[in-house]
Amino acid sequence: MTKLSKYLKPFAFSLLISIILLFGQAMCDLNLPNFMSKIVNVGIQQGGIETAVPEALSVKGFNFIENFMTDGQKKEVNNSFKRISSSDSGREYDGYLKKYPLLKSEDIYVKSTNDDSELNKIFGEASMTFINTIDELGKKQGKSLSTSQKSSKGMDITKLYSLTPIIENLPPEAVKQAHDKAAQNPDSMLMQSGISLCRGFYKEIGMDTDKIQFNYIFKIGAFMLLIALIGGAATISVSYLGSKIASGAARNLRSDIFKKVESFSNHEFDKFSTASLITRTTNDVTQIQMMMVFAIRMICYAPIMGVGGIIMALNKSISMSWVIALACILIIGLISVIFSIAVPRFKIVQKLIDKLNLVSRENLNGLMVIRAFGTQKFEAERFNNSNKDLADNTLYVSRIIILMFPLMMLIMNLIQVLVVWVGADKIAASALQVGDMMAFLQYAMQVIMSFLMISIMFIMIPRAAVSGDRIYEVLSVEPSIKDPQNPKEFKEDKMGYVEFKNVSFRYSGAGENVLEHITFTAKPGETTAFIGSTGSGKSTLVQLIPRFYDVTSGEVLINGVNVKDITQHKLREQIGYVPQKGILFSGTIKSNLTYGSEDADEETIKSSAEIAQASDFISKLPGEYNSEIAQAGVNVSGGQKQRLSIARALVKNPPIYIFDDSFSALDFATDAALRHELKKHTSESTILIVAQRVGTIMDADQIIVLNEGKIVGIGTHKELLKSCPTYYEIASSQLSKEELA
């Protein structure tokens, strides 16, 4: 299927834009759980306070917290805060007063730096040191600090100031031990304890902590909404571009298949059935198109989500990484088992579609014959067998694939339970925050969903690959009949001449020749006819002239030039070909008659119809020449179809006419009238007629009798009756004794 990748080149820019948009969408989707984690951790649990470092605190609070810092930390904190006096004035003071109401009556300390990296640790350790110190005091006194005092929402910091004298009188070793113990805690716990005190400091100086919480949640929520909108816009854009790319590539693919099939000679058509070519142009291309739509959406998106989800999950908790590893192993194992069973069936399904199309086409084309012989039951059974084989194989594949989705959902749900179970244990041990566990859970689901998307692609890619190979089989065929690189020009003095020089021909793979050593010349103004028993090679012979097949040996010359030395288009411009079976196209009578000469005028069209004995029945139709012709000409009789086919060739007015048994559906009177008119109006053209009826060709200037692929007689009707037993045998079976005399 990679051999068809060139069909994406015209859409390279759109493809690049799609990948960029997918990357942007993936980034949006990966950041949403992170923001959700912040809302839970910071917005709800921490009251909207993001850092353990207070923006401002009272002088009492500043002195109190310093009791739990080392000398170096105290120096760092003093350098990072400035004291604002309640007696100050000015614009800066007014701004502080509005934000920190306590400044109206007391001095406060305000942070003077934006770098919180070191201060976060200092205040976190100081807060945890305070908690450890009070816990030790509580144990000595047989009490413990109440939950309301420890909670971030219930702590009243002013009540703790009464402990200052006790703390100041503690031995330095006791505070140092409490500080060393605090330093051993993870940063998350230090942050939580620091924020707990920070919220108390804010309440003390009169800040609206509920507003802080609301503003934070609103801000993060707005970010999440914006990211979701950006991700949604990217999704819509990628879907549009993906559909446009896939439909455009499928359009070009169908066009190239059609052009390739048009270039086929009869030899190539012998390799592919009509039903198979139709399936490859429609069903197989549709498979490729569907795969492209999903591939553009998923092949780029799923890996980004999978890798990004793993990285983001590990950032939340490395200790729970084994959960994601377990999920990946289970999913990969499931996909491998299911696809090892299902993939071989995809190729069988496509071949069965070919077979079903073949049976359907044969039944529709041969419906009259089927009814005439009363074989409807047999044909219905044949169709049902093909239909059942396709249905059984499709159902088998579908059941295997469908089984994958509930198993994937089971794995997904079990992983969710496992994440919550393990995460709850870590939350209880203060090793993980609730928001981080929730984010980890969402990232785990994103990783699993990315594998689910990849598994969907594994369903589509093998089937599309089979279709791609089938399409490539058609596109890779090199037509056996090609135009020469340096085409020659026709010889003016040989215009209209058709010459066969020792021509032999055999079909590909055949063991013997169909035609052997055929030599003759057909001249302008003369009628050359071919007759012989069924299978003698008459139609094959005339099909060598327009190069529907190429000779195996010898030469076929048109206008004095070998047909292999002329372009096919230029060669066929010289020929008006009427096949055995009259082929008409859906449209009007006029559009069919002008099929080979679109610029033909009304007079030429009507004159050709009169010569072909078609004007009588055309004039009786409601629309005359504008009357509609149904698909394949099913609304006209066989004889009418042949006459319209002959008229079409006459409208083209070429120097050479080939009538391949084109009078077989005509009655004797019409046949005679047509040949009479044909002789008058094509007196300067070369006429080649293949016929089964002696009456059709008995007036020909030259009759060539074929038997088993060899010429057994050449001459006029009278000459052949005397010199050619084969011709006499054919004639005697059709003519009376008086006509033979």
In terms of phi and psi (left: phi > 0; alpha: psi -120 to 50; beta: otherwise), the region of 501 is: beta
Mean pLDDT taken over the chain: 83
- In the chain the domains, ranked by start, together with CATH numbers, are 56-207 (no CATH), 261-475 (1.20.1560.10), 582-653 (3.40.50.300)
Closest to 299 (Cα-Cα) out of 8, 65, 89: 8
Whether the Cβ atoms of residue 300 and residue 235 lie closer than 8 Å to each other: no
pLDDT band at residue 110 under the 50/70/90 scheme: very high
- Cα(346)–Cα(350) distance, integer angstroms: 7
222: pLDDT strictly greater than 90? yes
DSSP class of residue 38 equals H
Contact 323, 415 (CB under 8 A): yes
Average pLDDT over every residue of 298-313: 83
* Distance in angstroms (rounded) separating the CA atoms of residues 674 and 353: 45
| Per-residue tokens: 281 | 């142009």
Q: Which pTM does this prediction carry?
A: 0.69
Q: Where would I find the H helices in 429-531?
A: 434-475
Paired with 714 in beta bridges are 704
C-alpha angle 50/39/208, rounded to 5°? 55
Question: Could you tell me if 693 and 724 are in contact, meaning their C-beta atoms sit under 8 angstroms apart?
Answer: no
Tell me what pLDDT residue 141 has. Answer: 63
Give pLDDT, residue 2.
67
Mean pLDDT of 121-143: 80
Hey, what long-range contacts does 335-342 have (CB within 8 A, 24 or more apart)? 335/404, 335/451, 335/454, 335/455, 335/458, 338/400, 338/401, 338/403, 338/404, 339/458, 339/459, 339/462, 341/400, 342/397, 342/400, 342/401, 342/459, 342/462
Q: What is the pLDDT of residue 151?
A: 41
**CA neighbor of 448 nearest in space, from 326, 576, 269:** 326
Alpha helices in 366-507 (DSSP H): 367-373, 376-428, 434-475
**pLDDT, mean of residues 603-632:** 82
pLDDT digits (tens, 9 = 90+) for 704-729: 999 888 898 898 888 888 888 888 88
Helical spans, DSSP H, in 476-582: 538-543, 568-573
Quote the pLDDT of residue 473.
Answer: 81
pLDDT beyond 70 at 392: yes
pLDDT band of residue 149 (cuts 50, 70, 90) is very low
Higher pLDDT, 581 or 233: 233
Q: Residue 645 pLDDT more than 80?
A: yes
pLDDT reported for residue 143: 54
| Averaged pLDDT for residues 288-295 | 84
Q: Give the model's pLDDT for residue 223.
A: 92
The percent of residues above 90 in pLDDT, for the chain, comes to: 9
pLDDT at 142: 59
CB 519 within 8 A of CB 641: no
In angstroms, the CA 216 to CA 48 distance is: 5
Tokens 């113990």 found at: 181
Contact 32, 230 (CB under 8 A): no
